[in-house]
Chain A
Amino acid sequence: MTSLADRQAELVAALTAGAAVPPGFDARLVEAARVALLRKRAGEVARQWPELAHGLGAGWVRQFAAWAATRPTRGSLRDGWDLARDLAARRELPPAAGAELATREAVLVYDGERAPRPRRWPAVRGAAGSVVVQVAGRVRVLRRG
């Protein structure tokens, strides 16, 4: 018989990474939990990234959920950051969300793999038409998209 650890991991994969629901579970209820989990994550990321959520407007929960469905959370700061970078790379980041992303990029170093940490040197960053400068931790928005 499979160990409890393996079976717990299978259930997490079904809920966070699009894996099949393990045998014996009520698929309708596990699906309801999966959807509820995505909605909850969308709310948490919206609190951390208000301009991103606002910029995507009425489609925020749907768009975040579609993006997050196969990506287990790495915390709401990084979830929002990863999504904003994906959108920026596809030139789909709303201009209203540019200053928020540029500010984070200017203040913190984030390689997409490890937890973000404070930047030690001044930086200028741009996103979706906004430009931000950071010196000694202080931020100025030079241009808004």
Chain B
Amino acid sequence: MTAYGVGIGWRPEIAGFVAQLPGLRFAEVVAESVHAHGDLPVGLAELRERGVAVVPHGVKLSLGGAEPVEPARVTHLAAVAERLGAPLVSEHIAYVRAGGVEAGHLLPVPRSREAVDAIVANVRRTRAELSVPIALEPIAALFDWPDDELDEGAFLTEILERTDALLLLDVANVYANARNRGTDPLALLDSVPLERVAYVHVAGGAEHDGIYHDTHTDAVPQPVLDLITELCARRRPPALMLERDGDYPAAAELRGELDAIAAASGYPAVT
């Protein structure tokens, strides 16, 4: 994959800020927020005209659901990828609904053989409609299932190998999970196939009542930036991008976070 460097999650609220990043070559948009055939959101079409790669990031496919993915959602994701001329798409290793009820959030799946089989089947159903690769993102989970059979590294490696999917590694999720479980985030980096990393998410969070929440509405903490440096020392991913989903700070603060990601990864600043 092309080396794009530092990117950002495009959101309508920060479209003006993103439009003015002179060095930007990579962005991501929530796939469900884009019409498959109608006009693109204001600002996104301009990014495409500038040659910025825009990756649709699905949040509602529910690849980790025991039930098959809904065909209409897969069709939409594929159509949005075409619409944006995207080099790839991404989704989560998670489920978001069950028995017809929406969870409203990405929920963890058990790290069991049964769940691996369900995810592999859903990724294959999805890939059958896509003309570009898919990258799968492990989530930040506040709790684990009681019947985990595999550790996270083995679980992810098996899914990626059986589906031939790429990995969307979220270093903030790696940090959050390790901190909340009391495990070593570097051990996780050493247990997943880093050669499959398509790009990396970076986000902020906050601690409440002893639990670290991956909020995307707080500043990126230093340990997450340090994980970027550790990751890049092992194998530098083609792109790393800031995810911010609310409580948007002033432009100077956002620029500072993008510059910090550039400094931690050794990619040029895009600001």
**Do B103 and A12 touch (CB < 8 A)?**
yes
Pairwise interchain contact A4-B118, C-beta atoms closer than 8 A: yes
In the complex, what distance in Å separates the CA atom of A8 from the CA atom of B65?
A: 8
* A4-B114, A5-B66, A32-B211 as given contacts; A40 in contact with B104, CB under 8 Å: yes
Given contacts A24-B147, A25-B143, A37 and B67 within 8 Å (CB-CB) = no
Known: A24-B147, A32-B211, A43-B246. A8 touches B102 (CB 8 A): no
Cα A121 to Cα B197 in complex, Å, equals 53
Residue from B95, B104, B144, B246 within 8 A of A8 (CB atoms)? B95
Contacts of A9 in B (CB 8 A): 98-99, 101
Q: Mark A98-130, 1 if CB is under 8 A from B, else 0.
A: 000000000000000000000000000000000
Please report the C-alpha to C-alpha distance between residue A40 and residue B209 in the assembled complex, in whole angstroms. Answer: 17
Question: For residues 1 through 46 of chain A, which have their beta carbon under 8 Å from a beta carbon of chain B?
Answer: 3-9, 11-13, 15-17, 23-26, 29-30, 32-33, 36-37, 40-41, 43
**Interchain nearest-CB distance for A40 vs B (Å):** 7
Total interface residues on B, using CB and 8 Å?
30
Name A3's contact: one of B65, B66, B101, B146 (CB within 8 Å).
Answer: B66
Across-interface contacts of A37 in B (CB, < 8 A): 103-105
Is B142 touching A32 in the complex (CB atoms < 8 A)? Answer: yes
- Name B98's contact: one of A12, A24, A30, A32 (CB within 8 Å): A12
Which of B103, B110, B144, B246 has most chain A Cβ within 10 Å? B103
Chain B positions within 8 Å of A8 at CB level: 65-66, 95, 98-99, 107, 109
Q: What A residues does B143 contact at CB under 8 A?
A: 25-26, 29-30, 32-33
Cβ contacts under 8 Å, A57 to chain B: none
- Do A12 and B115 contact each other (CB < 8 Å), given the known contacts A29-B211, A37-B105, A73-B104? no
Asked if A72 is an interface residue, CB under 8 A from chain B, the answer is: yes
Q: Given that A3-B66, A43-B246 are contacting pairs, would A11 and B98 also be in contact in the complex, using a CB cutoff of 8 Å?
A: yes
Q: Given A5, A7, A26, A29, which contacts B67 in the complex, CB threshold below 8 Å?
A: A5
Query: What 8 A-B pairs have minimum CB-CB distances, sorted nearest first?
Result: A24-B146, A9-B99, A5-B66, A29-B143, A8-B98, A73-B104, A9-B98, A4-B66
**Residues of A near any B CB (own CB < 8 A):** 3-9, 11-13, 15-17, 23-26, 29-30, 32-33, 36-37, 40-41, 43, 72-74
Task: Name 14 extra pairs, CB < 8 A, besides A17-B101, A33-B105.
Answer: A5-B67, A7-B110, A12-B101, A13-B99, A15-B103, A16-B103, A16-B104, A29-B142, A32-B143, A32-B209, A33-B142, A40-B104, A72-B101, A72-B104
